[in-house]
């Protein structure tokens, strides 16, 4: 079976660095931190009291009051980004609804609804629970709601693979078009877990940075003094299309998707496999899928969580895959600015990769101050740099041993 070429024609995002792609990219390449002390609920009893949050977003520009009341935050953020991406792509779904699908990942889904519903059950009893509790809470409802709002009637699914969720979703969307099962896929990820339970759970796991007096500098991937990741929330949606379909409608093509690799560690529920063995295989599978040698990659947007194990093991995995070429690569972790959006991380990071290709700019890893001999590659410390980019790799790895890697390239005929 011949494989169709898949291109990207639209983008939309709301995240801690902005309510649009342009605002996000401007802040990203300028090295701005979106990490702040949490003000939405009382965090005085928490060991970590900061996160990357979406602030001052006017949801009424996208939804009526009833829709807002009956939807969880991750659904609203995901749908807002989808509407932006569809507009950016100039896509008229009504012309081909049965061949346009949706796959949006979320690692956890409607945690805010789960918390509120548990509180209602405990304080007021089961008769007071909302009939919308389940459809507001389950992770697939970002995909479902986007389809309902837009009329996209094709393939509809959701990937739930922890922090790899949106890369898995986009990889699945890529393959769905590649093998002729859809012409267009609305894909990406959405997450909104900066809640009392979400924050408290990661605090209990001792996964988070505790730099409460200096949140701007708390996320420091690959830095020797890193002390944990920083939670973030938001969404990113991209439009994938069959190249021929996009050309026939004169779409503005932003980049081409050329490779996807997914593997499992089969090792531990939270820790990565030693020396990043599973991550290494995912990168190798993606390169083989793209049909290119490692030396063709110009930039890697790393998973780069700012945790001791991830950053060390991801560095080793890159060295194992790329050999001596690893030291010539440009690498960065944009989580240093946005925090870690969990299931939506890969989605906003693929948007960063697209903009990097478009602008010939590698965004920085900020807060890099103390070199770590275990992380000795070029992580683009503190300042963005100009560089012509043809092939870009984006890594995402999740609890449970899920590894998902995407490769995109500058569009060519």
The residues annotated as belonging to the active site are 163, 303, 340
Integer angstrom CA distances of residue 250 from 180, 258, 314, 413: 20, 21, 40, 14
What's the maximum distance between 2 C-alpha atoms anywhere in the chain?
64
Question: Residue 402: how many CA atoms within 13 Å on its side-chain side?
Answer: 20
Nearest to 38 by CA among 16, 20, 17: 16
Q: Are 301 and 394 in contact (CB under 8 A)?
A: yes
Integer angstrom CA distances of residue 402 from 142, 162, 232, 276, 377: 21, 8, 20, 12, 24
Q: Are 352 and 329 in contact (CB under 8 A)?
A: no
Backbone φ and ψ of 116, nearest 5°: -65, -40
The C-alpha torsion from 70 through 72 and 73 to 78, rounded to 10°, is -90
Q: What is the DSSP secondary-structure string of 43-88?
A: -TTSS--EEE---S--GGGT--HHHHHTS-HHHHHHHHHHHHHHHH
Nearest to 246 by CA among 258, 237, 254, 235: 254
Nearest to 347 by CA among 14, 72, 9: 14
Beta carbons within 10 angstroms of residue 195's beta carbon: 23
Question: Residue 187: how many CA atoms within 13 Å on its side-chain side?
Answer: 36
Question: Which string of b and e fits 386-404 if b means at least 16 CB within 10 Å?
Answer: eeebebbbbbbbbbbbbbb
């Amino acid at each position: 079976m011949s494989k169709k070429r898949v291109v990207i024609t639209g983008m939309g995002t709301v995240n801690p660095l902005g309510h649009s792609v342009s605002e996000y990219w401007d802040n990203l390449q300028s090295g701005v931190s979106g990490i702040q002390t949490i003000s939405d609920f009382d965090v005085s009893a928490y060991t970590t009291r900061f996160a990357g949050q979406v602030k001052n977003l006017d949801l009424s520009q996208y939804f009526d009051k009833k829709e807002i009341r009956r939807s969880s935050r991750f659904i609203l953020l995901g749908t807002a980004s989808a509407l932006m991406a569809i507009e950016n792509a100039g896509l008229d779904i009504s012309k081909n609804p049965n061949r346009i699908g949706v796959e949006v990942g979320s690692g956890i889904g409607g945690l805010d609804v789960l918390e509120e519903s548990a509180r209602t059950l405990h304080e007021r009893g089961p008769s007071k629970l909302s009939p919308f509790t389940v459809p507001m809470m389950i992770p697939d409802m970002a995909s479902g709601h986007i389809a309902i709002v837009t009329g996209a009637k094709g393939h509809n699914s959701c990937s739930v693979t922890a922090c790899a969720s949106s890369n898995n979703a986009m990889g699945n969307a890529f393959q769905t078009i590649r093998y002729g099962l859809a012409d267009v896929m609305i894909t990406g990820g959405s997450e909104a877990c900066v809640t009392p339970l979400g924050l408290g759970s990661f605090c209990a796991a001792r996964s988070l940075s505790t730099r409460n007096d200096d949140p701007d500098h708390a996320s420091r991937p690959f830095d020797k003094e890193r002390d944990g990741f920083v939670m973030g929330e938001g969404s990113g949606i991209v439009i994938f299309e069959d190249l021929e379909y996009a050309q026939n409608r004169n779409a503005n093509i932003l980049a081409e998707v050329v490779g996807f690799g997914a593997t499992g560690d089969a090792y531990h529920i939270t820790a990565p496999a030693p020396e990043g063995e599973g991550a290494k295989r995912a990168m190798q599978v993606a390169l083989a899928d793209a049909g290119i040698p490692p030396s063709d990659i110009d930039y890697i947007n790393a998973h780069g969580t700012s945790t001791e194990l991830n950053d060390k093991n991801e560095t080793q995995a890159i060295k194992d895959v790329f050999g001596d070429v690893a030291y010539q690569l440009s690498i960065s972790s944009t989580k240093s600015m946005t925090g870690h959006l969990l299931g939506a991380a890969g989605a906003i990071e693929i948007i960063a990769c697209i903009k990097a290709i478009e602008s010939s700019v590698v965004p920085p890893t900020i807060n890099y101050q103390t070199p770590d001999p275990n992380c000795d590659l070029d992580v683009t410390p503190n300042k963005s740099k100009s560089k012509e980019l043809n092939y870009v790799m984006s890594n995402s790895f999740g609890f449970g041993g899920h590894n998902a890697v995407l490769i995109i390239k500058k569009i060519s005929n």
